[in-house]
Structure formats: structure tokens, C-alpha cells
Amino acid sequence: MPLVSLNPATGRLIKRHREHTAKEAASALAAVHSGFLGWRELSLPDRARHLTALATILRAQKKSLAQLMTAEMGKPLAQARAEIEKCAAGCDFYAKHAARFLKPRRPVAAPKNACVVFEPVGVVLAVMPWNYPFWQFFRAAAPTLMAGNTLLLKHASNVSGCALAIERLFADARLPAGILRTLLASSKSVPALIADPRVRGITLTGSTAAGRKVAALAGAALKPCVLELGGSDPYVILADADLDHAAEICAQARLVNGGQSCVSGKRFIVVESVRPVFEQKFLARLQARRVGDPLLADTDLGPLARADLRADLHDQVQKSIKKGAKLLIGGTLPKGCGFYYPVTALTGVRPGMPAYDEELFGPVAAIISAKDEADALRIANDTAYGLGAALFTRDRRRGTTLARERLDAGMVFVNDFVRSDVALPFGGVKDSGLGRELGEFGIHAFVNIKTVWVK
């Protein structure tokens, strides 16, 4: 069955990719398992040299890779170039710091003749999404490779061109054969791969529903997994916030990548005393963003990645309005080709509405009124998700305390928008996932933490 890539800006076919056969999938898995047996024997400096070469190739091919990404999933070209640069920076980071992260250590109060060492586990299956086709993979791959593991990539079907390009990058950087293989396959192939004894870990970025299925399969097979799932990030605007700054940051947070990001700001919870002023400033900044051809330099938002995603988002908006939300801007399906959706804002959002209860994966902002600080924090935590959160206040000390103690999320930013940084752990709580990527925590996701005691 072919895997179809469509240009979301035009709706036209880019390419039909042939799905790999069961025999080809078995060959790919055998290759990365064989590759692991050699890769694990390389010294950390040798692995680091290979990752540095990969970073060099990423930067050299940044223009063409960005164009491919924009064509397949609609990301504005400037954001696509920045994504490739971030991938290269991630490779550089782990090439530089992995030796320290993996250095044998003696835990506090441990016997003098005992230590802890970190060993690779083997093949890691990477099940990746379409919204950041390169970064989502490389943020998992760079630490996994430096730890001595190898990778089998099962990417989202609508970005199969990006998946194949990733495999070519490894070849162009002259990494050893069998370090990575791309498998073009539907999600139906995943259970058998997880069950295969040669696969020793699974990393998935995707929906909460997909994460539950993978977690169940990994649990049955007694294999570690890292799950980075959905989010409905609250952005809390307190009464003492700098409203101009908050409005600008919130608009940026809501619309980056067309709003198709797990850590996009989605629920804007505003203390009622400042809500009317914030709402006015926020709308002005939302409306200033330009929706258009993602290949043009002045475009802020391209199309959504697929027609079905646009239909689902519009359904969430319409159901919220029917339940009493007020439409401030947008909310109308545009005519013409492509999968565009207008910048949209809803106010008067309450529990029981999709805009309150569900993840909005697109350029739709849900504005929620809170009576006071305590009520705003209660609403922020009133969600099944717990990936990121942001809080805006002029009192930085108070903001720090609230971020540390009162918001249920894996990441909390004060007076800024939530984003990943290669040096910091990335991940969530509750229905937003398990485990952490990036930083030192990320490289320990797929290692055997082994105690060695010598008498």
C-alpha cells in the first residue's frame, strides 16, 4: 500500500512512496542490530566525530532539507531552516558533552569499591510524527547514538520524503553502515517491531492514544520507552503582568509552526480584571500574523499539514461555539486549494467545550477568564495534560515560586514561551507522556545503568 505525500499548500500529490515489504522490514532490523554490535565498540571520541560530521552535513544541506520539509508538511521556510540548524546544534551538543554524561560514577555513600557504569541497550525503535520531521528525530537520535545504540526509524507516512532524507544524511556523513535505517511502513507494523527481541527500547512522539498503545506493547515486552505525547499548555496571565509583553509572547507561542506543536500555548487563562485589555492586545498581535505561501519570506503561518487535521480542528471550534464560546476572529474554512485555516480566537471558553478539554492542534487560541490568581492556577491544572505551562507576572520571585510549586507540568516558563532546549530535560506528566528527552536525562533514557562491585 503506498504512503502518500501531499503538498498541504496546494493539495497536490508530491509522491507515492512504496511501503516496505515484511522482508525488507526484517532486513532493516537485522542491519541495525548488526550495526549495533560494531557501533557499541567505538570509543566516545569516535562516536563524537561521527556526530560532528552529521552536524556538518545537516548545515551544508540546510536549504534543500528545509524546502523538502516545507513541501511535505507546510512549515514556513524560515522556521524549517531553523529546525535543521537546531538538529545540527543537538548533534554538536552531545558530541561535546556525552563523555561527561556517561562517565562512570560512584554514587553518594556507595562503597569505595563500587561504581555505576552506563552501557548501551541495543536497537531503539523511533516512531516519529510529522510536525517537526527532522528535529523530533534528531533530539532522540543524538543522545541515543552517543550512548552506543542504533536506530530504526518509522516516520509519519505524510513525511516519507523527510524520513528517506534522514537516512541519506547518515550516508552522506559517512557514518558506519547499520547505524540507522528508515522503514516506510504504516502504524500496523509497530507491534511486531516492539515484540522483536532485537528491539530494546522505543521512543515515540505522537498522540496520547498512540502513546497508550505503545506503552502497553512495550510493557508486555518489558522494554523501556520514552513517550512525548499531547499537550494543552496553559499560559497564565496574572493581574500584574506586562500585558504588551504577554500578548506578544502568547501570540508567538500559539502560532509557531502553524499552532501544530505539542508545546504551543493553547489555553490562555487571564485574571478577569485584566482580561479585556489583554484580549484586545492579544487579538491585535494574532491578526498581524500573515497566513500564506510557506515558501515566501514574509509568511508567518502556512497551511495545516493534512486535510483531515483541518477538518478535526474546525469541528472542535464549531462545537465550542455551539456550547457557548464566543468567536472573536477567524473560525471560517477558507475557499481555494490547500489546507489553510485562519488564525482563530475564542473567548468565554469553559469546561465541557473542546477548546477547554482537548488539544487544539492548529492556530486557534482559547481565552479563559479566571477570578484571581488562585482560580487561574486551578484552571491551568484542570486538564488531563501536563507538558508545558507559562506564567506572566512582573514579580519574578513570585513567578518562580508558582512555577516550582503550583503548576503541574514537565516544563514551566515565566514570562516566556515554552520550548525545547538541548541542554534541558523535555517531557511531561499525566497524559503528556513518560520519560525525558534532551540534556543529561535524555542520554540516560536508553542505557543499562549497571552497578559494578570489585572486591
133 within 8 A of 261, measured Cβ to Cβ: no
- Catalytic positions are 228, 262
Give 122-134 pLDDT, tens digit per residue.
999 999 999 999 9
With 0.95 as the threshold, say if the pTM is over it: yes
Considering Cα of 351, then 373, then 249, then 231, what sign does the dihedral take?
negative
Residue 454 makes CB contacts below 8 A (sequence gap 6+) with 113, 114
Per-residue confidence (pLDDT) for residue 2, from 0 to 100? 83
Distance CA 17, CA 189 (A): 16
Round to the nearest angstrom and report the end-to-end CA distance of the chain.
59
Domains of the chain are: 3-230+430-453 (3.40.605.10), 233-384+388-414 (3.40.309.10)
- Segments in the chain below pLDDT 70: 1
Longest CA pairwise span in the chain (Å): 76
Contact between 302 and 76 (Cβ < 8 Å): yes
Using the CB atoms, write b or e for 26-49: b if 16+ within 10 Å.
Answer: eebbebbbebbeebbeeebeebbe
CA distance 388 to 417: 9
